[in-house]
Amino acid sequence: MNNKKKVFVTGASGKIGRLLVEKLLAGGYELVLLERRDRSENRLNGGRTVKGDILDAATYSSELGGVDTVLHMAAITHTNVPGSYFKVNVEGTRVLMGEALKAGVKRVIYVSTRAASPNGGGYSVSKLEAEGIVQESGMEWVILRPAEVYGASGKEGIDMLLNKLSSFPIIPVIGDGRYRVAPVHVSDVVSSVVTVLGDTSISGKIYTIAGPEAFTYNELIDRVLRIKGIKRPRVHIPVWIFRMAARILLSLQRGGGIAMDQLPRLLCSKEEDISPAKRDFSFCPRSMDEVFFGMSADRDGKGHSENDRA
């Protein structure tokens, strides 16, 4: 690998992006980071921030000269204005791909989502449409679809459960809790992006980047409770009640971070097969037990240390 390849990065300030930038800088890449705000903390060891808007090509097109690869991660992930998903995630991708092709960029890596689906609500549909634009961009492409990412100290999803569950007197579960998740640690996502970026023989593929285990949401709660070493009762909230309550809260402007399309995004069917990533670039994610206990998990969910395998 030429350690001085130039990479144009969008979405570098996200929970994956911040760790990824550190890895790429340490690997000797020359980075240009497109941000809507000027983030001087990324101006180190060859990385620099360009203030711009993905929809406004004039703010960044001149920076694409000499770029080998566009690493596109920027997206709106939560909004109750559905048009915003399509304006930024779809049209923003279209503008960026057009400018990159004109500048002579050869390759694009698009970080999408395992929830890309026609049945997952506005965000999911917008990411699926953006994938189509990437595939038709005229450049070599790879699409990575991360599952439910944890380990980045986030305030929602699995990170929220890990950080806040101890303070919950009860655990609310939407619906029957049988919808599935495949938790993947943020460091494993970052490693997959770094590996794919460094291997130009990988092209024209879509990869699911998920953990080695898939659970129902009920099973995930059990696993997190075991990790935390606590017991809590759970209460199942019918989907229609949750939807109605969310709409009422939003109408009263008390919805906080609720986005209505999070519900279909949670409930929609998602791909769990990571064998193509294992085969093509030796993707080897850690289980939750390995992350928290240094153990591997058998199908019964019980952890075993490496010494127990002998």
For 244-276, the pLDDT digits (tens) are 887 887 777 655 567 788 888 899 999 999 999
Determine, yes or no, domain membership for 46: yes
Determine, yes or no, domain membership for 14: yes
Mean pLDDT along residues 25-33: 93
Q: What is the pLDDT of residue 260?
A: 80
Mean pLDDT along residues 90-105: 97
Asked if 107 and 141 touch (Cβ cutoff 8 Å), the reply is yes
Q: For residues 80-93, b (16+ Cβ closer than 10 Å) or e, as one string?
A: eebeebbebbbbbb
Q: What is the pLDDT of residue 296?
A: 55
Q: What is the pLDDT of residue 305?
A: 36
Q: What is the pLDDT of residue 277?
A: 98
Question: Is 204's pLDDT higher than 80?
Answer: yes
Q: In angstroms, rounded to a whole number, what is the distance separating the alpha carbons of residues 200 and 267?
A: 35
Give residue 194's region: left, alpha or beta (phi > 0; psi -120 to 50). Answer: alpha
Q: What is the share, in percent, of the chain residues with pLDDT greater than 90?
A: 67
Which helix (H) or strand (E) element contains residue 8?
Answer: strand 6-10
Determine, yes or no, domain membership for 242: no
More confident residue, 209 or 249: 209
As a whole number, the mean pLDDT across the chain is 87
Determine, yes or no, domain membership for 243: no
Q: What is the share, in percent, of the chain residues with pLDDT greater than 70?
A: 88
- Number of folded domains that form the chain: 1
Question: Is 192's pLDDT higher than 70?
Answer: yes
Point out the least confidently predicted range of 42-46, 80-84, 151-155, 227-231.
Answer: 42-46
Backbone angles phi, psi at 217, to 5 degrees: -65, -35
Which residue blocks in 136-251 are alpha helix, DSSP H? 157-164, 186-198, 217-228, 239-251
Cβ-count burial of 20 within 10 angstroms (0-12 exposed, 13-18 middle, 19+ buried)? Answer: buried
Question: Is 306's pLDDT higher than 90?
Answer: no
Q: What is the pLDDT of residue 152?
A: 83
Global confidence as pTM: 0.89
Determine, yes or no, domain membership for 107: yes
101 — pLDDT class (breaks 50, 70, 90):
very high
What does the pLDDT look like over 30-89, one tens digit per residue? Answer: 999 999 876 555 444 557 899 999 999 999 999 999 999 999 999 998 888 889 999 999
The enclosing domain of 28 has a CATH number of 3.40.50.720
174 — pLDDT class (breaks 50, 70, 90):
very high
Determine, yes or no, domain membership for 308: no
Determine, yes or no, domain membership for 254: no
Question: Is 1's pLDDT higher than 70?
Answer: no
Question: Is 181's pLDDT higher than 60?
Answer: yes
213 — pLDDT class (breaks 50, 70, 90):
very high
Q: In angstroms, rounded to a whole number, what is the distance separating the alpha carbons of residues 298 and 213?
A: 10
Query: What count of Cα atoms within 13 Å lies in the side-chain half-sphere of residue 226?
Result: 14
94 — pLDDT class (breaks 50, 70, 90):
very high
Determine, yes or no, domain membership for 205: yes
What does the pLDDT look like over 288-302, one tens digit per residue? Answer: 999 998 865 443 444
Question: Is 129's pLDDT higher than 90?
Answer: yes
Q: What is the pLDDT of residue 44?
A: 47
Q: What is the pLDDT of residue 109?
A: 98
Mean pLDDT along residues 179-190: 96
Domain hosting 31: range is 6-148+186-209+272-285
Both ends of the chain: CA-CA distance in Å? 38
